[in-house]
Structure 1
Amino acid sequence: MKHLNYILLCLSLLFTSNTFALEQKYHGSVLPVIAAFKAEDKTAIAAHIRYPLKRQYPLPDIKNEAEFINRFDEVFDEELVAVIGSSNINTDWDNVGWRGIMLNNGVMWVDTDGKVIAVNTQNTTEQAHAEKLIAQDKQSLHSSIKTFQKPILDWKTANYRVRIDNLGDGNFRYVSWSIDKSPSDKPDIVLINGNITFEGSGGNHHYTFKNGRYSYVLHVTIIGCDTSSLGWLEVYKDDKLLLSDAVISAVNKAN
């Protein structure tokens, strides 16, 4: 029995090692990224980014290598650079199917072409920039919706302009206008007490708001394919889908 237990323990350790180790075929995608961060080479890192690199609203997405190098310290502080540069290919990285390859349960994501597709952190430099943009954002809104803690998104679909704000303590607010109106106009719809649902570790999620028998659902794409939209708006009456409207653009504030 003692020998059997020892054999089972060894098999368990072997299975665990194989389960969590990144497959060899993906090493070529990740190792150059690790090397670029280990060398702290901003130009090399910029070449390993899939553009545009999404940032949290109201921060504008990073469109190209030159802009990335200029905003590098907003995205990667010394601590994060060190974490990536010293990461272990076998224990810190994991393949998550079509979503890509993630570092440390989703801190950063790389695709199979060796391009960084998402960085799910925000350091103090980026937070300061965001706070400045939030103050500017509030000045452009109708007086009835100027009070909030943090803006979450501001989207345009073919028919609507929609935004979500965090009012504090996880209380989300949905606001929408017809596409021909301005945010300085009184909103057509304002809903509060929305909830957020995450879809795995990739960052994709959706917000749901209730208005009697109607539900307004905004799906947010963080990890997707090249043809994926930023997200889409769905409106239901009970369980019947009344509207599905893809996002055409995100309204980012200028730097």
Structure 2
Amino acid sequence: MKTIFKTTLLCAIVFLSVTHVFAFDVKQNEQIIKIINAFKAQDKVLISTLITYPLNRQTPAPAINNQQELVNRFDEVFDQNLINLIANSDIDNDWKAKGWRGIMFLNGKLWLDGGKIRSINHQTVNQANLKQTIVEQQKLTLHESLRNYKQPILQWETTKFRVRIDDLGQQKFRYASWSLDKSFSDKPDLVLLNGKQDFDGSGGNHYYTFINGKYTYRCDVIVIGTSKSPAGRLSVLKDQLVLLTDDVVEVLK
């Protein structure tokens, strides 16, 4: 009997603990309801006040820097499908509190922090078309040896290098780097192929790794971090020994 009581008590404690982790407080609940109602009304101006800027977009589309830009580019960010998902969402089932990372909607489609939308992981048709236009224009600015790719992944300036990663198609990634005294139109100092992408949890953080003999080049993209976190980090390892860690100074578009 005592064993059954202890087991029941333990289960109750675990249940309460899990419920506490994922439950919203009154303020969070009100913040989510405000966002849901704004999308129900499809009020672009109101929605623009519920976003933290700059709002980064998928490379190579430029970030949205203020409320007016959001209103002007609204259809690039939100299509009717995403609007309906948010407007008809259920707080208990579709929104999850993730501690210091904020509040997640539908497995990371949106992330909230402080009651505002911090990131949007959804691609509309309009954004896809914009990206393709930019890609074709951007190819003309690259060294001719790098112009064959499906889509750009990132362009960084670190404290020591300029770095670019491209998707060549079928999840085959290419790494290219230059010294800071060179531009992307110059022949790269180093090109590595057959890179792979891995994700670090559901927050959006991910990384790309490239092998060059005994050396491993790793580019960490930091989507969810602290206020002091860089946008990314380049690491170079020989076997398992870290030779270099180099923070991103600027994300180049």
TM-score (norm 2): 0.90
- Runs of 5+ unmatched residues, structure 2: 1-7
Structure-1 residue corresponding to 2:64: 62
1:102 partner amino acid: M
Structure-1 residue corresponding to 2:116: 115
Structure-1 residue corresponding to 2:52: 50
Q: What is the percentage of aligned positions where both structures have the same residue? A: 46
Do residues 228 (structure 1) and 229 (structure 2) align? yes
CA distance in 2, matches of 1:144, 1:181: 15
| 225-234 or 83-92, which deviates more | 225-234
Preserved contact between residue 22 and residue 98 of structure 2 (Cα < 8 Å): no
| 146-155 or 26-35, which deviates more | 26-35
1:174 partner amino acid: Y
Preserved contact between residue 96 and residue 102 of structure 1 (Cα < 8 Å): yes
SS of structure 2 residue aligned to 1:90: helix
Q: 1:66 to 1:227 in 2, by over 3 A?
A: farther
SS of structure 1 residue aligned to 2:93: coil
**C-alpha displacement of 1:226:** 2.9
**C-alpha displacement of 1:164:** 0.4
Structure-1 residue corresponding to 2:107: 105
1:109 partner amino acid: W
Structure-1 residue corresponding to 2:247: 246
Preserved contact between residue 20 and residue 90 of structure 1 (Cα < 8 Å): no
CA distance in 1, matches of 2:34, 2:228: 26
**C-alpha displacement of 1:210:** 0.6
CA distance in 1, matches of 2:231, 2:179: 19
Q: 1:214 to 1:21 in 2, by over 3 A?
A: closer
**C-alpha displacement of 1:20:** 9.2
Preserved contact between residue 20 and residue 94 of structure 1 (Cα < 8 Å): no
1:173 partner amino acid: R
Structure-2 residue corresponding to 1:74: 76
- Runs of 5+ unmatched residues, structure 1: 1-7
TM-score (norm 1): 0.89
CA distance in 2, matches of 1:20, 1:88: 18
SS of structure 1 residue aligned to 2:34: helix
Which deviations, in whole Å up to 9, do the C-alpha atoms of 1:28-84 show, x marking residues without a partner?
Answer: 332211111111111111111011111111011111111111111100011111111
Preserved contact between residue 21 and residue 93 of structure 1 (Cα < 8 Å): no
Preserved contact between residue 161 and residue 176 of structure 1 (Cα < 8 Å): yes
SS of structure 1 residue aligned to 2:86: helix
Q: 1:21 to 1:38 in 2, by over 3 A?
A: farther
**C-alpha displacement of 1:23:** 2.4
Aligned residues: 242
CA distance in 2, matches of 1:108, 1:20: 19
CA distance in 2, matches of 1:195, 1:87: 34
Structure-1 residue corresponding to 2:25: 24
Preserved contact between residue 207 and residue 219 of structure 1 (Cα < 8 Å): yes
CA distance in 2, matches of 1:23, 1:241: 41
Structure-1 residue corresponding to 2:90: 88
Structure-1 residue corresponding to 2:4: none
Q: 1:201 to 1:46 in 2, by over 3 A?
A: same
**C-alpha displacement of 1:21:** 6.0
Preserved contact between residue 218 and residue 234 of structure 1 (Cα < 8 Å): yes
